[in-house]
Amino acid sequence: MNKEQLVESARFIMKNAYIPYSKFPVGATLLLKDGTVINGVNVENVSFGATNCAERTAIFTAIAQGYKKGDFEAIAVAGDTEDFLPPCSICRQVLAEFCSPEMPVYLTNRKKEIKELTLRELLPYAFTDLEM
């Protein structure tokens, strides 16, 4: 799956987001090294701290399916935004836990433009087990 397909998958899955409070859908598509694709959406809760972001939904689903740290190839994040939609800080740290610092992260916007970063560029100075 190329980056355009990954981004389009993230844009498509946004419609499944559970967003009764913010009305702000986010979709994420995670590509695994074996070619498997796992989608995630944000799932809100009236207790906002219990809300789960699309990126974490995709990663946690992959872990629940038996994937391990290092099995992740790329992730695309989509929202209906003017600017590129980056993962929140919590999601960035979760990505740092399971993914290579060189893993591609594709961000998109409502104009369907794509910005490609590495995880390291998205989260410089990440807190990882290698630093302990």
Query: Active-site positions?
Result: 55
User: Is 99 within any annotated ligand binding site?
Assistant: no
User: Is 53 within any annotated ligand binding site?
Assistant: yes
User: Is 88 within any annotated ligand binding site?
Assistant: yes
Could you count the other beta carbons within 10 Å of the beta carbon of residue 132?
A: 5
Q: How many angstroms separate the CA atoms of 17 and 54, rounded?
A: 8
Q: How many angstroms separate the CA atoms of 122 and 110, rounded?
A: 20
Q: In 3D, which of 38, 122, 118, 34 has the Cα closest to residue 70? A: 34
In the annotated binding site, the residues are 53, 88, 91
In the annotated binding site for Zn(2+), the residues are 53, 88, 91
